[in-house]
Structure 1
Amino acid sequence: MRPVDLAREHGLSAQAIRNYDDAGILPPTERSETGYRRYTHLHAQALRAFLALRGGHGHQRATEIMRATNRGDTESAYRLIDASHVALLTERNTRSEVAAALGALSTGTPTLIDGPPLTVGELARRLGVHPATLRTWETEGILRPERDRATGYRRYGPDSVRDAEIARQLRRGGYPLHQVAQFVDSLREAGGAEALSAFLGSWQERLATRSRDLLAGAAQLDAYLSLLDRAG
């Protein structure tokens, strides 16, 4: 087969096939007497495997997996695949933790304050925590109080009070400070709990899609490995 024959199945250019060949994504290629590359069904399956792997692992890792496979180093290829699954599991757990925290907030929605901003002492009494705790939360990026221009004292407006009450609830639930900071940042970026719920739903869909992509890549790579076994 010619480069264009491999390319046609996937809507690629012949140059893309040559680039994949040069990158080691395809197995070694024979050349005709005139220097043209000759591809076989083995190369066609290698290309299918790479394109499927790319969906779940990304371009660079898919390339590394195919290079390792083509040089006979399946142990390295399996390790690369395992690393992607570990990363996906870690992200899935993070998403579950954020969703659980959001559920906890729904049973105790923070109330906004009326009137002027609160001082450190006033907010600490409201939450039942030590003022030093609020300063620690600020260092971790959980709170972003304003400063009084005349005195330099911290002033906690409605948004800061909301974030502080969220932090108190999450800390009571056993969440470490870095996870509390990540959650509060997500809440700020999403624009509130309702928007964050939509974000979590979209996140779950992305995780499910990537899981299917990893499965599809594994299936095509397994088919390629079977052909290599028979060819060897």
Structure 2
Amino acid sequence: MRPIDIARKLKISTSALRNYEEKGLVPPAQRSASGYRMYTKEHVAYFECIQAMSPGFGMEATTEVLRLIQAGQVDAALWRVNEIQTNLQQDKQLAVRNMQMLTDTGATGDNAESGNSDEWMTIGEVSALTALPSSTIRHWEKVGLITSFRDEQNGYRKFNRSHIQKIMLLRTLRPAVYSLSVIELKEAIAQMNASDVEEARKIASDTLRYLDHMNRVQMCGVHSLYQLCRILQLVD
């Protein structure tokens, strides 16, 4: 097949096809006598797999998986996909816990804007509680997603329950594939009124819906990957 025919079928540019080939996502194409690339049905399956997998798994993981497929390491490729899906399942469980926490709380009892709280935690304690590196929390503060307070005596960061709610919501989205939906959710979390539990519940609910969507998108990617493996006769 000619590159232009595949590009039209998949609604992408021929330069994108060349880019995928140059990056090693698909096997090198043979050349015609006049020097033009000549693609086979296997190449088409690779290109379709890229389009199906990248929205749910990201281009970096998709590249890794398809290079493993070309090397004949089908089990390594499938386990890598399984690992990413497991992470999504863990994100879903965290999001459910966030929603339950907000439902049980009823009201935060904290005011992160004024700094009033019955209990403060250090960044190390928050890191242990949320299973996030302290560096990630500091980065989120640097880019304006969260705002901590400083201890007047030692200048150390301190966090209350409202801060932790934001951090937990952000943690749910941390491994998510970059998309407009993720940007919008992160901006909503950053702007969330710490005393507005209903707003927090809505964001948590939106996050759950996003994860449900990602689960369906990933399943489409897995289906396309398995179809590619069948065409390559790597699986029955």
- Structure-2 residue corresponding to 1:182: 167
CA distance in 1, matches of 2:108, 2:197: 9
Between structure 1 and structure 2, the one with the greater Rg is 1
Contact 1:25 / 1:63 at 8 angstroms: preserved in 2?
Answer: yes
Amino acid corresponding to residue 190 of structure 1 in structure 2: M
Give runs of aligned pairs for residues 38-77 of structure 1, distance below 5 A.
38-77=38-77
Q: Aligned residue pairs: how many?
A: 190
Question: Displacement of 1:212 after TM fit?
Answer: 0.7
Contact 2:56 / 2:221 at 8 angstroms: preserved in 1?
Answer: yes
- Structure-1 residue corresponding to 2:109: 110
137-146 vs 61-70, which deviates more? 137-146
Q: For the structure 1 residues 93 and 63, does the alpha-carbon distance in structure 2 shift closer, same or farther, using more than 3 Å as the test?
A: same
- Structure-2 residue corresponding to 1:36: 36
Contact 2:108 / 2:197 at 8 angstroms: preserved in 1?
Answer: no
Question: Displacement of 1:34 after TM fit?
Answer: 2.4
Higher share of residues assigned helix: 1
CA distance in 1, matches of 2:148, 2:13: 52
Question: Displacement of 1:65 after TM fit?
Answer: 1.0
Deviations 1:142-169 (A, max 9, x none): 973775xxxx69xxxxxx9xx86x58xx
Contact 1:52 / 1:217 at 8 angstroms: preserved in 2?
Answer: yes
- Structure-1 residue corresponding to 2:223: 219
CA distance in 1, matches of 2:230, 2:78: 15
Give runs of aligned pairs for residues 46-195 of structure 1, distance below 5 A.
46-106=46-106, 110=109, 134=119, 137-138=121-122, 140=125, 144=149, 147=152, 166=161, 182-183=167-168, 189-191=191-193, 192-195=196-199
Identity over aligned pairs, percent: 22
CA distance in 1, matches of 2:81, 2:15: 28
Deviations 1:57-97 (A, max 9, x none): 00111111111111211122112201211210121111111
Contact 1:3 / 1:17 at 8 angstroms: preserved in 2?
Answer: yes
Contact 2:192 / 2:199 at 8 angstroms: preserved in 1?
Answer: yes
Is 1:228 the counterpart of 2:228 in the alignment? no
Question: Displacement of 1:42 after TM fit?
Answer: 1.5
Contact 1:69 / 1:77 at 8 angstroms: preserved in 2?
Answer: yes
- Structure-2 residue corresponding to 1:208: 212
TM-score (norm 1): 0.69
Contact 1:24 / 1:70 at 8 angstroms: preserved in 2?
Answer: no
| Structure 2, gaps ≥5 residues long | 127-146, 171-185
Q: For the structure 1 residues 13 and 109, does the alpha-carbon distance in structure 2 shift closer, same or farther, using more than 3 Å as the test?
A: closer
State the SS of the aligned residue for 1:229: coil
Deviations 1:22-42 (A, max 9, x none): 222223422112221111122
CA distance in 1, matches of 2:169, 2:229: 46
| Structure 1, gaps ≥5 residues long | 128-133, 154-159, 168-177
Is 1:9 the counterpart of 2:9 in the alignment? yes
Amino acid corresponding to residue 110 of structure 1 in structure 2: G
